[in-house]
Structure 1
Amino acid sequence: MGEPSFTLTNPKSKSTGAFTFKTNDASLVTIQGNVVTIKKSGTCVITAIQQATESFSKDSITAKLIIAPRLWPSLGFVIPDKKVGDPPFILTPKSNSNAEITFKSDNAAVAVIEGHLVTIKGPGKAVITAYQAQSGIYEASSVSENLIVTEASTAETLKDIDGNVYKTVKIGNQVWMMENLRTTHYRDGTIIQNVTDNSSWAAQLNGAYCNYNNSIELGKTYGFLYNWYAVNSDHKLAPQGWHIPTSAEWTILYNYIGGDRYSGGKIQESGISHWSNDTGASNITQFTGLPAGSRNADGTYHGITSDSNWWTATANPNGTASYYNLYVKGYIEIAESIKSFGYSVRCIKD
């Protein structure tokens, strides 16, 4: 489908009789003289008929014509992460079809498009769709990508009861710590038990924390790992004026950065200073997720340089608690864990 009309070549014959051509399905092709015009896809039979002469009788021969449907073009484009205040930028689509490509934004409060020029209007999410018309052997097509515009701005610093000072950042309407928690005391001054032994960690039913591999230096860099009993303690793990975010509050952040598992690069620290691989994380929100790994229920450690895991304050009916996992490839997903695992903690402002 979509290919131009073509000319049939007369069959070879010892006769000099004139040839005519016909199709058994005029809905698929039309034939004028020996020129075939394709109308739609399908299979038909074309018959070549040779008229009789003084020496030869009238005869015919057939051939099957298979008309394949139009192809789908390989239409695509890439949208970089953007923040409020960035200058307008040009969309550069790629396609193996030469038909015109137009763009549309579904949220003019976030971005407007004139031609291929995108102008940022405000924070949020806009779905940008590229439309390409039918042309030749290629079907009309469209493809969409998410444009996430953040309004990340560094907020005030935060001090915990131990005197640790944390940077914070405003992301959308939320204010988050830019670092993982590393306090050894609850808000009311009660000591949190530092459990180093594997079997003791496995048997723990009260709040506890540890450094990855019991390394104080790793704790300084990545923050501490806490079991969920510490997260849920009546003594309050978060500093005054802050709290451990619920899964619903984490979901607000998740949706703000794109709302799918491929959006994690927007909260992941860029480069390989701490992550094992550079997969193009932008950290445009300045959340600066670090791969602190985790401590398993049996007390063993796992995943430093490849995984971030953050507890939520949300318990589940099956006895687990919810947490968010950020993998090195920029994948972010909510999951459930038994409460004796050790994960990082980020606090959110009340």
Structure 2
Amino acid sequence: MRHEILRSLLLVTCISLIYEPAKCQTTDKISDSDGNTYTIKLMPDGNQWMTQDLNVRVDSSWCFADDTANCKIYGRLYTYYSAAEACNTLGNGWHLPSRKDWEVLSDQYGGASNKSKDWGRAAYKALQTGGESGFHATLGGNRELTGGKYERLNAHGFYWTATEIDQKTAWNFNFGAGGKALHCQDGMGKGEGATVRCVRTIAKN
């Protein structure tokens, strides 16, 4: 009887691990060409994500307000094209996440405002620094295309996606501190500066 109970418990444990990927999250490290080290994590969407903002130097990337201290906290701000280039420098399949990548990740925590019942508030809370996900998104602001003006530090965290809308704009995911909500937004000019996370797709068996 005791052996039967143990076998049953083992079966339940195995099934739980299969159907609850959040319990199987693992962490590791990766370094860029500047020697910066980032924690990476296997997230519930099944892919590896950086849990810190990218800070590798490439052309058309900046520290907020041109202050290197901000790069240490929020990473660098990249244009659409330099964002893709910067992720690619990590090699080994690391790339700029698509809109779909961001959607699938945020869906694990309730979804962005366009898909959720709570206007993206649960996803904002979970994916922000200190949230249950361990993703640690920040509010790094942005750099405007016109005049190179820096704005919205600690008010918004704009994260590039690789998904284009047209020749001039692309999708981004915006962590808005005012409403404490995560939004999937269109219309960000490709020459603007925004924050970057890189992702590595894990092959599904």
- Of 191, 199, 205, 1:348 maps to 199
Q: What residue is the counterpart of 1:167 in the other structure?
A: 39
* TM-score, normalization by structure 1: 0.46
Unaligned runs of 5+ in 2: 1-14
Q: For residues 164 and 312 of structure 1, do their structure 2 counterparts lie closer, same or farther at Cα, with a shift above 3 Å needed? A: same
Q: Mapping of 1:168-317 within 5 angstroms?
A: 168-172=40-44, 173-184=46-57, 192-193=58-59, 208-233=60-85, 237-241=88-92, 242-259=94-111, 260=116, 261-262=120-121, 263-270=123-130, 283-298=131-146, 299-317=148-166
Q: Which has the larger radius of gyration?
A: 1
Is residue 338 of structure 1 aligned with residue 177 of structure 2?
Answer: no
1:306 to partner: Cα distance: 1.6
Q: For residues 151 and 300 of structure 1, do their structure 2 counterparts lie closer, same or farther at Cα, with a shift above 3 Å needed? A: farther
State the alpha-carbon separation in 1 of the partners of residues 66 and 132 from structure 2: 32
Q: For residues 255 and 238 of structure 1, do their structure 2 counterparts lie closer, same or farther at Cα, with a shift above 3 Å needed? A: farther
Q: What letter is aligned with 2:190?
A: K
Q: What letter is aligned with 2:139?
A: P
Q: What residue is the counterpart of 2:4 in the other structure?
A: none
Q: Deviations over 1:225-257 (max 9, x none)?
A: 001121244x86441121111111111102111
**Identical counterparts, % of pairs:** 23
Q: For residues 311 and 157 of structure 1, do their structure 2 counterparts lie closer, same or farther at Cα, with a shift above 3 Å needed? A: same
Q: Which has the higher contact order (CA 8 A, sep 6+)?
A: 2
Unaligned runs of 5+ in 1: 1-108, 111-120, 125-149, 185-191, 194-207, 271-282
Where 1:323 maps in the other structure, the secondary structure is: strand
Q: Mapping of 1:35-46 within 5 angstroms?
A: none
State the alpha-carbon separation in 2 of the partners of residues 248 and 162 from structure 1: 29
Where 1:169 maps in the other structure, the secondary structure is: strand
1:152 to partner: Cα distance: 6.8
Where 2:140 maps in the other structure, the secondary structure is: coil
Where 2:102 maps in the other structure, the secondary structure is: helix
Q: What residue is the counterpart of 2:29 in the other structure?
A: 157
Contact 2:142–2:194 (CA under 8 A) maintained in structure 1: yes
Q: What residue is the counterpart of 2:175 in the other structure?
A: 326
State the alpha-carbon separation in 2 of the partners of residues 284 and 312 from structure 1: 23
State the alpha-carbon separation in 1 of the partners of residues 69 and 134 from structure 2: 23
State the alpha-carbon separation in 2 of the partners of residues 162 and 318 from structure 1: 31
- RMSD value over aligned CA atoms? 2.2
Aligned residues: 173
Where 2:153 maps in the other structure, the secondary structure is: coil
Where 1:308 maps in the other structure, the secondary structure is: strand
State the alpha-carbon separation in 2 of the partners of residues 236 and 306 from structure 1: 25
Q: What letter is aligned with 2:27?
A: A
State the alpha-carbon separation in 2 of the partners of residues 232 and 166 from structure 1: 17
Q: Mapping of 1:97-112 within 5 angstroms?
A: none
